[in-house]
Structure 1
Amino acid sequence: MKELADQAGNFAFLAKDAPELTKLGRLAEHFFLLDAPTSLIKTRQFAELTAKDIAARHGELPDTRATFDDVLRALQRRGLLQRQIADLFFHIKRVGNTAVHENEGTRSEALEALKMARLIGIWFHQVYNQAPNFRAGPFVPPQPPEDATPALREEIEALRKAVSDSADAEAKARMAAQEAIAAQATLEERAAREAEDRAFWENYAAEADRERQTAERTLAQVQAQAVASPVAELSDLAQMADQKAQELEIDEATTRVLIDAQLRAAGWEADSRTLRHAGGTRPEAGQAIAIAEWPTESGRVDYALFIDGQAVGVIEAKRSIRNVAGRLGQSKRYGQDIILTPEQKLTFTPSDDATAFRVPFVFVTNGRPYLKRLETLSGIWFWDARTGEPPRALMDWFSPRDLTARLEQKLDPAALAKTDRQLGVTGLRDYQVEAIHAVEAAIASGQRRLLIAMATGTGKTRLAIALMYELLRAQRFRRILFLVDRKALGIQTLDSMSNTETASLLKFDKIFPIAGMDKAIPDLEDRVQVSTVQAMIRRLFDNPDGQHPTPGSYDLIIVDEAHRGYVLDAELRDDDLGFRNLDDYLSAYRRVLDYFDATQIALTATPALHTREIFGAPVFHYSYRQAVIAGHLIDHRPPRRITTALSQTGIHFDAGEEVAVVDSRTNQVDLFDLEDEVDFEVAEFNKKVHTEAFNRAVATAVALECPPDKPGKTLIFAARDTHADILVKALRQALTEEYGPQPHDMVEKITGEVDRPNERIKVFRSDPRPKYVVTVDLLTTGIDIPSIVNLVFVRRVNSRILYDQMIGRATRRCDEIGKEYFRIFDAVDIYANLQTVTDMKPVVVNPSLSFTTLLGDLNRATTDEDRVWVRDQIVVKLRQRVRHIDPEYAKPLEAVLGPLVALPDQLRDAPPSATADLFARHPSLATVLDHAGNRPRPNGVYISEHEDELVSITDTFGRQASPADYIESFEAYIRANMNALPALIAATQKPRDLTRQDLKDLATALDEHGFSEASLRRAYGTARNADIAAHILGFVRQAALGDPLVPYATRVENGVQKILASRNWTSKQAQWLNRIGRALKDQPVGDPALLSDPLFAQQGGFDVINQTFDSGLGDVLKDLNAAIWSDGSEGGRAA
């Protein structure tokens, strides 16, 4: 009878591979009629055991004793539960918890839970029991109980009709058997049969419980096997799970139950079974309710949304809708035709083409979760009748509070168009004001994603605060999320908000309430919230059952350091969304940005390609070179290359040599006899090989070049935390040997591993010590410490973005220590390595992807660009693979393919079709490459005892070998272009008419060819054994015309004296000329724009000062330029 019970229910298909699940499902069916709460408990046990099994098979089970909630969170965190499946699990967990703790639950809930559990079982069987082609028949419902509600009886009859209409003979037979038993048995006979069966079902339940416990005990073994499995296998399994989840068919009734739950989670009263217009449900004051089947003039809309008794939106929700975006037309019609009483009508201002609408918000959904790559076929599509903007997809439902906040927005674009108004935050620089107006214009034009590119140190945070002030004051937005990627940056931003003064003399945070980083949900009155992206990810995706922000919680998001998204969850390439599941590739930023329905402004100093793909081209750009020219940032001298004996030769271990290797997971040191020679280049030092001698040599160089008694601080970049410890020890020793005993806190490590790292950062910024800090990633971006004058790279990075961010740590001015430039020390040849790095995006998007997966991508690619992209991933992965493949596998492969080492280059130089053809001719090649063993080599970090010594510390001038070569290259460029580039023509032939824009254009052109003022000053100083503080214009004119190199400050002083002596000036005029001269030492060109700087603006600016010069100030400024820079033809050469 037990076997018959296993084979009789809706879960019989699991009997062979997962009998414990079959029994739990069968028991849930059995108790449906007898006791609904018990049925729900068994369904919950079914779902929990399934979730634990899935987690174990992916190696993600937190602990065999982990709670159901913990397991679901772990699966969600790893992107292993597609939203549609996750909704089923969480629904069963919710109703099951109520049954367990309160002994409550209805038969309607039990029936829905059974249907959902079967859907989970079908998906599980297809994916994890390796039955991808399995097709389950229709769900066979139980006989309706005699006391069934009308709604339950209606649903059971609909399910029975679906069985009758199907072609599934087995399902029909089971339903016929049910009917036969029901027809032939009287009430008394059924009671007698139940009494006879009770003992069986009690034994069956006990056996099911034993099997469940046994299955749970074996999960640890399953977990261990998964952890040891190749990454490619787990990746393929996750991909299959995602694919089968998308193919799952959910019926109309279950779709409505899930949508009801989603609406309730967003804060609406919703139950499409009971809260129906036909059942008498009407909106009331103080309610936020979704009423089902509301009448319109053209039919009934699935839901009408009411807040405080007034209609705010309509929802069309049908499982049968395939093209969700395409069905908005019907939903819009309902928005126009909805039948409302005068009291139920909301007053709002529609857009010009929506004047007939009776509600402002229109929605349509088919219940499927939002997928970017299937955007029109999934998600919740939304249209706003007030703006008339194109419809867009949402990942979740707006809350009532969201819609109320939307209705309070002031959408008039004219409010942002007034560029002559006084800004609320005072003391802004001209480029910051330009940036604000550029953003406002873009928003007024309807742009929803914007990028601002401003060099590190130019005041992006202050700009953001000023921008937030303007947008909140205009009530264009109601709440802003300021998103950072680490807590230290969030604290820094909050400090800036509390210190930024406004025109009203109040600090920013006293005008607009701010929610701190620890607040999960902002309060109603909060206007700004600062959060880390990691915290927001946890709030949004770790616990769907808990309280979390809704898509409209913020209507503006400002993303600080937006380039950082590429190093978080996954390295996103948007093109790949057409190939694989979304969660594997979404970076943490992108997941958050896709979730919120908000205008998004990204701030970055280094706009990477992926940043532009998300936000578009910058609406405003202010470069590092522009900021240096304007005197807002400090330039760096040519990098100083630290060369040691080992960095020149590398580290070599001979075959047969005994080496010590540290296991990075356990820190255990083991000894190995090498079977082959092993070599490490300098790029691998401190990553793959531990070498104290190299670090001692580098520390000696740092101590010599950066004495502790010199002003400013030194920041050193290490490869990993343990490497930072080595450098701290070595540098303390080197300083002591060179300068005598030093305070212990002269050198410190600040990484994520130290106690209270944020406090340590504050000490580094504010206190005299430490003067030398070693870090890994914590201080690479966003941290503001102006006194840093030396950067030391003992870590090779291959990303220009990350390198530029690291450089940005030292670009800020620090006048109190007389900082004129900063220095870069390169111990790992990072500068030369990055000369060839032009694309910020790694070629291999996800190193764990198998050859099998990449080959599938190649065959599915539809454009030449995509085919080349995938081919390149295969080539890079193949190059890495053949380098380490075990000779046992290599020999038979080379017998067929020829030399493996040449194969990557052959494929790279051929069209992508050649790669596809190669794998087509050898169908098993991808599998062999995925699973072939590596050449035997100990895993971990090698320990090198090789001796090392400092060889040299020399300047690096890009591709030029010496300062003289650099100067020669510069002079050749100037001579070749002095009559071709307008900026060079102005600098060499028309200095009188020079403007700031000319100077910017000149510096940009020179910078593009590797010529900066600091590098030229260093090169000329080294070649001529004298440090001449000439200006970039001085170097240009020396190369073009032979002008002597005169310190720029001396040029200005001479020029001012020349002008003062040229005529009789009034005392007021002379006073202004001296002031202008002092300003010109920082702002190298005298034009009317100079007089708009704060020093002059507070005295009335150009217009007022011009009156002092009888409206001739413009000519006076030109004469001053000529006096500073002129050659003989324009009044004599400067001394």
Structure 2
Amino acid sequence: MEVYMSQGMNKAKLTETDIITKLILPAVKSAGWDDHTQIRQEFPITDGKVVVRGQMAARQRAKFADIVLFYKDGMPLAVIEAKANKYPIGHGIQQALGYSELLKVPFVFSSNGDGFLFHDKTNPNQIETEIALEDFPSCEQLWQKYIVWKGYQAHQLPLVSQSYYNDSEGKAPRYYQMQAINQTIDAIAKGQDRLLLVMATGTGKTYTAFQIIWRLWKAKAKKRILFLADRTALIEQTHIGDFQPFDTNMTIIKGHKIDPSYQIYLGLYQGMTGSEELQKAYKNVSEDFFDLIVIDECHRGSADENSHWREILDYFSSATQIGLTATPKETEDVSNIEYFGDPIYTYSLKQGIEDGFLAPYKVIRVDIDKDVQGWRPEKNQVDTHGNLIEDRIYNQKDFDRTLVIDDRTELVAKTITNYLTRTDPMAKTIVFCNDIDHARRMREALVRLNPEQMMKNDKYVMRITGDEKEGKSQLGNFTNPKKSYPVIATTSELMTTGVDAKTCKLIVLDQNIQSMTKFKQIIGRGTRIDDKYGKLWFTILDFKKATELFADPRFDGEPEQIKVASARDFEADDAFESIIDGHDDGVLPDENSDPDAIQEPDAEYHHDNPDAWDNTDYNLNNDSEDEDKVRKFHVKGVKVSVLAERVQYYDSDGKLVTESFKDYTRKTVEKQFASLDEFVKKWRDADKKQVIIEELEEQGVIWSLLEQEVGKDLDPFDMICHIVYDQPPLTRKERANNVKKRNYFTKFDGVAQEVLTRLLDKYADEGVSEIENIQVLKVAPFDQIGRMREIIKNGFNNDKEQYYDAVKALENELYQPQIA
């Protein structure tokens, strides 16, 4: 076998890649693992966190496992981490264990080519052992151990081992999607019939749901399946998108009848319920018609006992029901956890940002003087309509609800305009306002402040609210990355959820937000990444202190059940129940209404219950003659100014910090190196400086950003010495010239001297990382000397180690103590 043919090779001279290809892979293949379907090299774990400071962003290094072994697609069993032979056999075990935690696999291997250190979580009596290359376990051996470890029964195996849908275009689930899918399938196989999946906005809930349904359907564990959503656009997008492989087995439920000839059904809550019994489409089939229901955005009311939507789930109570949400709803009256149980899997916004799958954000908090200090009318002051303004102090919660100050609207619009002008005038922007009237006035102010952009295209600023067809018709263009216009959308409720605006770079909060669920949904409008269009991060421009909710433990913590009693018995009409559900449509449609319409809050204010706005964000009474309701007071000529503006960044611990990237770097490095001497010693002793550079990258030090802040010609060594330890820096060219002045190269001759001279020039231009990689000998200007093999032969006695020693000596000259 190939594995035995390698015994005579000099392992000490092999690179890590050589160890994998010449020793590890032959051992794994000899154990019977299939190279095409079960062995994945360089398996992607994360994309690399995006770090943002100012208008600059860069990705940290992505995480890849050297080898992941699969039983079948989407079902990982083992992780193998390889290291060069100069390291001990178990040098990579802790790194591999970290990957195994993410992939939820019990079998972990580390190897340096001599054999394997085998970490077996299924065997607590002998958790780590060394095994020879030729003793690597087969797939069947590990699978049988896995079955026992998971506690599977024989009748469960056909389901839990059912294959994923294999995408012909190569799309594969990310690690967290695999875990959500696999853990859901496991739970259903073991008899659980109420499940909750919590996955942050933008992490692929619909694709995850598709793979769950596909495996259950293919295994014939579930035969008729209903996918429920509350927006027509979501249903249609799902039908032609992630669910497309179901093809002719799938239908969208329309009207009041359900065609029994299909197996996969997509249904709209509003289309399946109604005030009349004849309108309840779901009652036209038997209670056991569906045996699986997947509920998208289940926080919007499906778990509420008083909800009309809940009646669908109650009717099909024998079906397995899976709730999907980014924001599980937990109040005194409504509890997703009470209905579905604790989440079977949670993937949070924080984790998504740390993994590089979701966009981080920076927050610009703008404090306006009248918001902070309040405003009181003069005695007997009237508004622009001649109405006497009630004498009291108006504060931030009042503005644009009970009181409109034109100058405040203008100041907010000017701040937005200035930010876009300074950064990117074509950056897609959503401005969240208190109501339709506020959104209208904000649009008008932005139009006045952007005449040049409006001359280019009159859709530069659009009000996109549920009451106006022209604005709603532009929603698709706003979310389409290929469409430049509209650029700025002012809105109230319509765009808080279900809007997949991948390229949205600015979210403006001029709305009083008390609901954590709503806040998460609004922030989710910006969290998608689109590398193709340069969307790696987004900015939140906050005028209403809404971002204080970031400090609330509920923002990104594990959901906790809050409901302790049954829902209050509201004496209210159907519209009120629908609104309390948290559903954006506001009212349940009758047979003559648009089931996908959005009910926006109007421009009125319920005077005797201002807190009602904070609880529901809707005004329920449209009767303008109601004596308890007054129109907004509208005043002009009130001088308004910005008191303070501060910028905060999402930090590595998930908190917002107010500091520069240099401050962040200083803190990070000081945690690892207590003194300048300690850092310098570690740098000089390192076989490769690149190792230290990568270690600091993993902790969030992004050299490309530092280069832009400090100067592009500084070596990482000098950047750290200067930024962290306040030392005067030398540029790379200065360091290179110092080496030349000492006539260092006179000890070499011929090819060696020429190569090292050019390496020094390469260092001056591009840095130490370039000269440490032997592959540099394959490119200009070294290719003019000869091929890499010829360079090593003619300049370094045909010995790579001699070449590496020469590079190390050159680095020692570069970092002489008297120069540093």
Per the normalisation by structure 1, the TM-score is 0.39
Q: Equivalent residue for 2:442?
A: 727
Q: Which residue of 2 aligns with 1:804?
A: 520
Within 1, Cα distance between the matches of 2:285 and 2:465? 31
- Alpha-carbon shift at residue 837 of structure 1 (Å): 6.7
Residues 87-486 of structure 1: pairs in structure 2 closer than 5 A: 412-418=155-161, 423=166, 426-431=170-175, 432-486=177-231
Residue 691 of structure 1: CA displacement? 2.7
Q: Which stretch shifts more, 515-524 or 546-555?
A: 546-555
For residues 321 and 159 of structure 2, what CA distance do their matches in structure 1 show? 17
Work out which of the residue numbers 635, 639, 648 in structure 1 matches 2:372.
648
What's the counterpart of residue 775 of structure 1? 491
Note closer, same or farther for the CA distance 1:798–1:844 as it changes in structure 2 (3 Å cut). farther
- C-alpha separation in 1, matches of 2:656 and 2:234: 40
Q: Provide closer, same or farther for how the CA distance between residues 1065 and 758 of structure 1 changes in structure 2, counting only shifts above 3 A.
A: same
| Match runs of 1:727-766 below 5 Å | 727-736=442-451, 741-755=455-469, 759-766=473-480
* Structure 1 residue identity aligned to 2:377: F
Instruction: Note the C-alpha offset of 1:771.
Output: 0.8
Query: Retained in 1: the 8 A contact 2:165–2:214?
Result: no
Question: Would the alpha carbon gap of residues 691 and 515 (structure 1) be closer, same or farther in structure 2, given more than 3 Å must change?
Answer: farther
Which residue does the alignment assign to 2:250? 514
On the 8 A contact 1:978/1:1040 being kept in 2, the answer is no
**Residues 578-623 of structure 1 deviation map (CA, whole Å, 9 limit, x = unaligned):** xxxx53xxx4554433332221222222334433333233323333
Give distance in 2, aligned partners of 1:612 and 1:1043: 58
Alignment match of 1:825 (pick from 518, 537, 541): 541
Give distance in 2, aligned partners of 1:441 and 1:991.
46
Task: Tell me how far 1:524 sits from its aligned partner.
Answer: 1.6
- CA shift in 2, pair 1:632/1:745, >3 Å: same
1:626 has 2:376 as partner: no
For 1:491-890, list aligned pairs within 5 A.
491-497=236-242, 507-510=244-247, 512-538=248-274, 547-565=283-301, 572=304, 583=306, 587-596=307-316, 597-609=318-330, 610-636=335-361, 638-654=362-378, 656-659=380-383, 671-672=387-388, 674=390, 677-707=391-421, 710-736=425-451, 741-755=455-469, 759-766=473-480, 767-832=483-548, 835-836=551-552, 838=554
Is the CA contact (8 Å cut-off) linking 1:627 and 1:633 kept in structure 2?
A: yes
Alignment of 1:942 onto 2:639? no
Q: CA deviation at 1:473?
A: 1.5
- Give the distance between the partners of 1:754 and 1:534, measured in 2 at CA: 21
Distance 2:428 2:229 in 1: 26
8 Å CA contact retained: 2:690, 2:769: no
Aligned-pair CA distance for 1:714: 0.9
Look up the SS of the partner of 2:474 in the other structure. Answer: helix
Q: 1:954 aligns to what?
A: 645
For 2:255 and 2:412, locate their aligned partners in 1 and report how far apart those are by CA, in whole Å: 45
SS at match of 1:558: strand
Q: Secondary structure of the residue that 1:563 maps to in structure 2?
A: helix
Structure 1 pair 618–1057 and aligned structure 2 pair: CA distance change class (3 A): farther
1:752, CA displacement in angstroms? 1.4
Q: Quick one: which amino acid aligns to residue 465 of structure 2?
A: T
Shift of 1:720: 0.9
Cα distance in 1 between the residues matched to 2:714 and 2:252: 46
Instruction: Return the letter of the residue paired with 1:523.
Output: D
Q: Give the direction of change, closer, same or farther, for the CA distance of 1:709–1:976 in structure 2 (3 Å limit).
A: closer
In 2: Cα distance, 1:967 partner to 1:726 partner:
41
Q: Is the 8 A contact 2:196 2:323 kept in 1?
A: yes
Deviation of 1:627 after TM superposition, in Å, equals 3.1
Matching residue's letter, 2:370 = L
Q: Distance in 2 between matches of 1:952 and 1:810?
A: 27
Deviation of the 1:772 alpha carbon: 0.8
CA contact (8 A) 1:439 1:450 kept: yes
Identical columns (%): 23
The alignment partner of 1:451 has SS state of strand
The structure whose residues are more often strand, as a share, is: 2
Partners of 1:1132 and 1:817 lie apart in 2 by 45
Partners of 2:463 and 2:336 lie apart in 1 by 32
CA contact (8 A) 2:502 2:529 kept: yes
- Paired residues of 2:165 and 2:211 also in contact (CA < 8 A): no
1:449–1:627 Cα change, 3 Å? same
C-alpha displacement of 1:977: 9.2
More helix per residue: 1
1:970 shift after superposition? 8.6
What is the CA distance between 1:973 and its match in structure 2? 8.3
- CA distance in 2 between partners of 1:615 and 1:1040 (Å): 54
Q: Which amino acid aligns with 2:770?
A: Q
Q: 2:114 matched to which residue of 1?
A: none
Q: For residues 611 and 763 of structure 1, do their structure 2 counterparts lie closer, same or farther at Cα, with a shift above 3 Å needed?
A: same
Judge conservation of contact 2:194–2:321 (CA < 8 Å) in 1: yes
Deviations 1:426-478, CA, capped at 9 Å, x for gaps:
51233223322222111111111222222222222222222222221112111
8 Å contact 2:369–2:643 — kept in the other structure?
no
**Which amino acid is the alignment partner of residue 418 of structure 1?**
S
Separation in 2 of the partners of 1:754 and 1:848?
A: 35
Aligned equivalents of 1:435, 1:822: Cα separation in 2: 27
CA contact (8 A) 1:720 1:776 kept: yes
1:695 shift after superposition: 1.2
Letter in 2 for 1:699: A
Aligned to 1:745, the other structure's residue is in SS state coil
Q: State the distance in 1 between where 2:350 and 2:320 align.
A: 30
> Quick one: distance in 2 between partners of 1:471 and 1:939?
56
Shift of residue 652, structure 1, vs aligned partner: 1.9
Amino acid in structure 1 at the alignment position of 2:344: V
Q: Give the direction of change, closer, same or farther, for the CA distance of 1:545–1:419 in structure 2 (3 Å limit).
A: closer
Taking structure 1 as reference, are residues 532 and 651 closer, same or farther at Cα in structure 2, changes over 3 Å only?
A: farther
Instruction: Describe the superposition over 1:293-339 as per-residue Cα deviations: whole angstroms up to 9, x where unpaired.
Output: xxxxxxxxxxxxxxxxxxxxxxxxxxxxxxxxxxxxxxxxxxxxxxx
CA deviation after TM superposition for structure 1 residue 699, in Å: 0.8
- Whether the 8 Å CA contact 1:454–1:605 is kept in 2: the answer is yes
Q: CA deviation at 1:733?
A: 0.7
1:714 and 1:631, CA in 2 relative to 1: closer, same or farther beyond 3 A? same
Q: How large is the Cα RMSD of the aligned pairs?
A: 5.5
Q: Evaluate the alpha carbon distance shift between residue 1065 and residue 964 of structure 1 in structure 2; reply closer, same or farther with a 3 A threshold.
A: closer
Deviations, residues 707-764 of structure 1 (Å, cap 9, x unaligned): 396443111111111211111111101112x767453221111121121766432122
By how many angstroms is 1:644 displaced? Answer: 3.3
SS in 2 for 1:682: coil
Paired AA for residue 416 in structure 1: L
Q: CA deviation at 1:647?
A: 2.6
Please tell me whether the aligned partners of residues 659 and 942 of structure 1 are also in contact (alpha carbons under 8 angstroms). Answer: yes
Q: Which amino acid aligns with 1:832?
A: E
**8 Å contact kept, 1:534–1:588:** no
Higher relative contact order (CA 8 A, sep 6+): 2
